[in-house]
């Protein structure tokens, strides 16, 4: 558009700088600057490796030339996305640092290390101007991120917005089998530095792009090893990537709740310090580009609606621009529901930024191959009008083209609208602070008298790592609370939670003691605290039936720590101080005396104490007792002889309160030992057991790490181990025995010159063999010899079905849907050492766990007695045969609960071949709650199928025990409240019969 001179200057004056930029940039055509020479050789290779012209775009079908900036070829020896080229993380970093040396537009930051000590980096790219102002811009973004610092002043915010440029943070290859993003990000970095086309220049001048090219560094290097092995053995099958990171595989993208992994902590810290407006995570499991930022419902219920609008804006722009480029298969809806906050990108969603995620199409390596899609992938749907092709030759270069093109269109759009998104960033932060005045709640309170101060501190430290501010009450305070329904959970008439409106809640006052922790909701990061501490409700009739992940994560319940949601704004006026430094529970030795007692409260630090002082003799009290003027729970530790300074130091460090007394309490005890533990893994999957290893490592519980193959070779397991822990595998019982099919070549997993990153965790010459029948026999002998075998979920199914557990059988569920839900369990036998330190009820994570039946005979199925037969009278009447005097009806057998075995009848005793002796019968420790109390959080449907069934069973066998879990006590670093069920079993492994009442017959 053209104006006469005076009119134009007036017009420009009337526009803000940003509006002008939008008008100016709207005329920019994507594509190369004809005046800038291209790197012809590199460009030729791009075209050669792209399998069809429509798999590329005007943004990436050339590479601009530079005389002084090296291209990715300098490190790769070929172009990004070239067949056969998969760089290690170190090579990617080497290239990024070459760029940094060659250009003032690049700065590389080290952001931490992985579990195995490998570096993680973030690469900042922008114009010289932007790079030189990183720190002053950071100071402005920090103010926008915390509007309290400018007194929520709109004019001040606008001035900051006008002066600032946004930060767009891109993270690559968190999923190690999704291999394309490192080379795509190397080339993207080069383009952002070198390309003088108006399109890329506009990005460079308006957005600071921050790139972590490899998120899962340990897993990346292992994946490159496997790929190189494949290249060296062209006609063979290659080993699957059994280990990604040191602990977990795909679940590394489910850690933004518990923050157990270093990669999550490093990205979180980078996010908190850079204050980016976007965190954009790259994945490669859907053809050809699923911008699943928008995804599908239900959306997370705690994020700001401004954010979900932003998802739509950026996502649809993305699809629209790439559609115009003629690239097939770009879409923005799909089967990803946006409910769980556990994904890495959700760090932004829950901290006032914008979360984004791409799924592009990768070949899990750098081979160019013909890919045939399934109808579900290539059919046209309402949201995918230009679907992927049913069949296409696909290359890593194609993938790199899609990744870069999509990122460039997003960066361009973001840069064009940078003021809008910066203002939104401010508004979302402000609305987070306004939470108590708007939707509420006002705060969450963690009472100062929680019986588990150690686990409470652990939960609070996780919130601190999320950037949440905490306060601590300096005096008691009283607030009004919504009155709870009886029995801790809302009463329900059916097994499934109902959505019927409840009458207006009544309120009651509650006084919290001084020392209570207050998580105020008038802070910028209130949303993450609210999301993590609140309860989740997923309606059984939700139209989303393809549930993507866990439906519940309520941290207080899973941590076995009380968390009170307070709507009453009076809580914000309670006398309190901001907490500085990490929350620690108080520890030390109180009083004086030669004997030391420690209350068993199921705080996880107790197991650390036991192993730290492993040579000190300790005992467990089998009954409650009083000492030092206090009440002690069953299982409390009694130490008759210890070096007091050692004990004091460890108790201080671990936050454990020890009481010294003159004499040991007169209570029955047994030795509390620190036994030898083995974690047994398969070569099928190590995903879920990784969460066990990280839990044990964090609490410094030593263990040997053995595979099913080791067990198959060791007939005398008991000589080496006291406890074998077999975490869920997720492959079924037969696969545990059989392993992988033996048809083709051996699949080695070991450190060699070709594969230097394999084998450090465990190794084998051939991943295929499973436990086998020898291994099964060895395991059964281990138990008979006195060992403890702990199984969970599908490994419990394995133990039941392969004859470890006389008297227990498993039902197949028909209707149950407990999808990553939290369910209530109830204590059945509080005298069992496994229950030490726990109360009457415990919320536990459940993923459609096995439904157990209990019987006193081998092969019995348990269950309820048959109802009366057809005949005369009402259901309660006896039937009466006609034509004779009525027979005397024997006393009916006593009522049997679903978690109990039917009583032994005299008829069974006549020739009691299958009758299990009373001391070898299954002992139920916890059961699922009654239907009406079962639901705690998430999705529960058809719950009556599992209600009241045994949840945790201690099954004696020979001299040993098998412990069966239907729930999962170690899950994603979130279930810290149930860890101690396993630790109790471990510490009391040779005295699990303590407190047991035996049946008479």
Strands (E), 238-361: 278-283, 285-291, 330-331, 354-361
Closest C-alpha to 697, from 988, 344, 250, 262: 262
Give whole-number Cα distances, 76 to 55, 100, 189, 246, 433, in Å. Answer: 22, 17, 15, 26, 48
Closest CB 686 distance from Zn ion, rounded Å: 17
Nearest CB to Zn ion, comparing residues 283 and 384: 283
Of the pair 178, 187, the CB lying nearest Zn ion is at 178
Q: Where are the alpha helices (DSSP H) in 466-604?
A: 526-533, 555-559
Kindly tell me which of 178 and 714 has the beta carbon lying closer to Zn ion: 178
Question: For residues 175 and 423, which CB has a smaller minimum distance to Zn ion in the complex?
Answer: 175
Cβ neighbours of 464 (radius 10 Å): 16
d(CA 581, CA 602): 25
433 membership: H or E segment, kind and range: helix 418-433
Facing residues of 296 across strands? 337
Q: What angle do CA 148, 467, 123 make, to 5 degrees?
A: 105
Residues of the shown chain interacting with Zn ion in the complex, contacts defined by CB under 5 A? 175, 178, 283
Rank residues 184 and 904 by Cβ distance to Zn ion and give the closer one.
184
Query: Length of the chain in residues, anyone?
Result: 1001
> Distance from CA of residue 497 to its chain's centroid?
25
Residue 280 or 283 with smaller CB distance to Zn ion: 283
Cβ at position 178, least distance to Zn ion in Å = 5
Distance CA 376, CA 393 (A): 19
Closer CB to Zn ion, residue 257 or residue 982?
A: 257
CB of 545 to Zn ion, least distance (A): 22
Of 819, 844, 858, 815, nearest to 926 by C-alpha is 844
- Minimum Å gap between C-beta 340 and Zn ion is 14
Beta carbon of residue 563, minimum distance to Zn ion (angstroms, whole number)? 32
- CB nearer Zn ion, residue 357 or residue 422: 357
Specify the residue, 388 or 833, whose C-beta has the smaller distance to Zn ion.
Answer: 388
**How many CB atoms neighbour CB 58 within 10 A?**
15
Query: And the tokens for 110?
Result: 């080290």
**Secondary structure (H, E, C), 104-157:** CCEEEEEEEECCCCCEEEEEEECCHHHHHCHHHHHHHHHHHHCHHHHCCCHHHH
Exposure string of 506-537, with b = 16+ CB inside 10 Å and e = fewer, is eeeeeebeebbbbbbbbbbbbbbbbbbbbbbb
User: Given the complex with Zn ion, which of 32 and 356 has the nearer CB atom?
Assistant: 356
Collapsed DSSP state (helix, strand, coil) of residue 527: helix
Closest approach, Cβ 192 to Zn ion, in A, equals 24
Closest Cα partner for 403 from 282, 223, 280, 279?
A: 282
Minimum gap (Å) between residue 336 Cβ and Zn ion: 11
Quick check: helix, strand or coil at residue 576?
A: strand
Distance between CA atoms of residues 112 and 20, nearest Å: 40
Nearer to Zn ion (CB atom), residue 330 or residue 779? 330
Q: In this complex, which beta carbon is closest to Zn ion, that of residue 283 or of residue 431?
A: 283
Give least dist CB 361 to Zn ion, A: 12
> Do residues 400 and 409 touch, judged by C-beta distance below 8 A?
no
The encoded tokens of residue 933 equal 């109390």
Q: What is the Cα–Cα distance from 118 to 616, expressed in whole angstroms?
A: 37
d(CA 163, CA 156): 11
Residue placing its CB nearer to Zn ion in the complex, 176 or 585:
176
Q: Which is nearer to Zn ion, 178 or 534 (CB)?
A: 178
Give the residue among 796, 604, 765 at the shortest CA–CA distance from 683.
765
DSSP character string of 724-768: EEE---SS-HHHHHHBS--SS----BS--SS-TTSSSS--BS-S-
Tokens of 980: 């101690």
Q: Which CB sits closer to Zn ion, 364 or 706?
A: 364
Please state the closest distance from residue 364 (CB atom) to Zn ion, in A. 11
Pairing state between β 588-590 and 704-707: unpaired
């Amino acid at each position: 558009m053209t104006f006469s001179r005076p009119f134009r200057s007036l017009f420009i004056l009337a526009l803000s700088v940003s509006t002008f930029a939008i008008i100016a940039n709207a005329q920019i055509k994507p594509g190369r600057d004809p005046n800038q020479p291209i790197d012809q050789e590199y460009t030729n290779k791009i075209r050669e490796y792209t399998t069809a012209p429509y798999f590329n775009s005007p943004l990436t079908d050339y590479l601009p030339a530079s005389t002084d900036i090296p291209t990715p070829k300098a490190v790769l020896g070929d172009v990004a996305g070239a067949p056969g080229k998969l760089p290690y993380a170190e090579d990617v970093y080497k290239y990024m640092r070459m760029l940094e040396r060659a250009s003032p537009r690049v700065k590389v930051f080290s952001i931490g290390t992985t579990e195995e000590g490998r570096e993680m980096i973030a690469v900042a790219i922008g114009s010289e101007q932007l790079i030189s102002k990183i720190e002053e811009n950071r100071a402005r973004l920090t103010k926008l991120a915390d509007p309290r610092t400018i007194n929520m002043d709109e004019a001040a915010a606008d001035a900051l917005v006008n002066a600032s440029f946004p930060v767009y943070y891109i993270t690559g290859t968190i999923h190690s089998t999704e291999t394309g993003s490192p080379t795509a990000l190397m080339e993207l970095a080069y383009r952002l530095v070198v390309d003088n086309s108006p399109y890329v220049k506009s990005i460079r001048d308006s957005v600071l792009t921050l790139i972590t090219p490899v998120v899962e560094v340990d897993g990346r290097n292992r994946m490159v090893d496997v790929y190189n092995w494949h290249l060296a053995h062209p006609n063979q099958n290659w080993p699957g990537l059994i280990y990604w990171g040191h602990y977990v595989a795909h679940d590394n993208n489910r850690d933004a709740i518990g923050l157990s992994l270093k990669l999550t902590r490093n990205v979180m810290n980078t996010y908190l310090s850079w204050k980016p407006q976007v965190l954009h995570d790259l994945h490669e499991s859907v053809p050809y580009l699923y911008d699943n930022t928008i995804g599908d419902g239900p959306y997370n219920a705690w994020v700001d609606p401004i954010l979900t609008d932003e998802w739509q804006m950026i996502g649809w722009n993305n699809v629209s621009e790439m559609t115009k480029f003629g690239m097939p298969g770009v879409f923005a809806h799909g089967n990803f529901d946006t409910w769980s906050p556990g994904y890495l990108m959700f760090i932004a969603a829950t901290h006032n930024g914008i979360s984004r995620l791409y799924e592009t199409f990768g070949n899990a390596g750098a081979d160019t191959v013909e890919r045939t899609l399934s109808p579900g992938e290539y059919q046209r749907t309402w949201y995918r009008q230009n679907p992927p092709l049913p069949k296409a030759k696909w290359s890593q270069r194609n993938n790199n083209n899609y990744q870069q093109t999509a990122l460039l269109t997003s960066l361009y759009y973001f840069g064009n609208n940078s003021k809008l998104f910066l203002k939104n960033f401010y508004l979302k932060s402000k609305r987070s602070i306004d939470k108590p005045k708007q939707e509420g709640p006002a705060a969450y309170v963690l009472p100062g008298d929680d019986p588990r101060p150690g686990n409470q501190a652990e939960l609070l430290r996780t919130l601190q790592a999320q950037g949440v501010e905490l306060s601590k009450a300096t005096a008691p305070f009283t607030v009004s609370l919504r009155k709870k329904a009886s029995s801790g959970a809302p009463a329900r008439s059916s097994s499934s939670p109902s959505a019927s409106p409840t009458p207006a809640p009544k309120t009651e006052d509650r006084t919290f003691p001084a020392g209570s922790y207050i998580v105020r909701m008038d802070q910028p990061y209130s949303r993450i605290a609210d999301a993590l501490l609140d309860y989740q409700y997923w309606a059984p009739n939700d139209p989303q039936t393809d549930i993507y992940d866990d439906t519940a994560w309520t941290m207080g319940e899973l941590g076995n720590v009380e968390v009170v949601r307070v709507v009453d704004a009076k809580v914000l006026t309670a006398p309190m101080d901001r907490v500085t430094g990490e929350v620690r529970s108080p520890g030390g030795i109180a009083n004086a005396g030669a004997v030391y007692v420690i209350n068993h409260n199921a705080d996880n630090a107790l197991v650390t104490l036991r192993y730290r002082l492993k040579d000190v003799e300790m005992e467990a009290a089998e009954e409650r007792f009083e000492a030092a003027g206090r009440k002690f729970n069953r299982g409390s530790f009694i130490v008759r002889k210890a070096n007091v300074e050692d004990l004091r130091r460890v108790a201080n460090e671990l936050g454990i309160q020890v009481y010294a007394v003159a004499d040991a309490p007169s209570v029955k005890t047994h030795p509390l030992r620190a036994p030898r533990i083995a974690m047994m893994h398969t070569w099928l999957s190590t995903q879920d057991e990784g969460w066990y290893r990280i839990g044990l490592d964090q609490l410094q519980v030593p263990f040997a790490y053995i595979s099913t193959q080791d067990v198959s070779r060791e007939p005398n397991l008991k000589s080496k181990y006291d406890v074998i822990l077999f975490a869920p595998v997720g492959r079924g019982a037969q696969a545990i025995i059989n392993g992988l099919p033996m048809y083709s070549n051996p699949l080695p997993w070991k450190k060699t010159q070709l594969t230097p990153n394999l084998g450090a965790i465990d190794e084998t010459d051939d991943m295929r063999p499973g436990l086998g029948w020898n291994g099964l026999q060895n395991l059964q002998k281990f138990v008979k010899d006195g060992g403890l075998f702990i199984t969970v979920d599908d490994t419990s199914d394995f133990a039941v079905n392969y004859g470890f557990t006389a008297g227990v059988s498993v039902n197949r569920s028909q209707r149950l849907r407990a999808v990553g839900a939290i369910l209530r369990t109830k204590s059945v036998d509080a005298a069992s050492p496994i229950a030490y330190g726990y109360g009457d009820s415990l919320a536990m994570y459940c993923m459609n766990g096995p439904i157990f039946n209990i019987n006193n005979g081998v092969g019995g199925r348990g269950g309820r007695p048959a109802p009366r037969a057809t005949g005369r009278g009402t259901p309660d009447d006896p039937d009466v045969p006609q034509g004779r005097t009525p027979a005397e009806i024997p006393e009916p057998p006593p009522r049997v609960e679903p978690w109990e075995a039917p009583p032994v009848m005299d008829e069974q005793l006549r020739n009691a071949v299958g009758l299990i002796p009373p001391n070898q019968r299954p002992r139920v420790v916890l059961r699922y709650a009654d239907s009406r109390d079962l639901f705690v959080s998430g999705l529960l449907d058809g719950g009556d199928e599992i209600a009241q069934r045994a949840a945790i069973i201690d099954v004696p066998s020979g001299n040993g025990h098998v412990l069966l879990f239907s729930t999962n006590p170690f899950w994603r670093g979130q279930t810290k409240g149930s860890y101690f069920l396993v630790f109790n079993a471990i510490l009391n492994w040779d005295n699990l019969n303590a407190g047991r009442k035996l049946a008479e017959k």
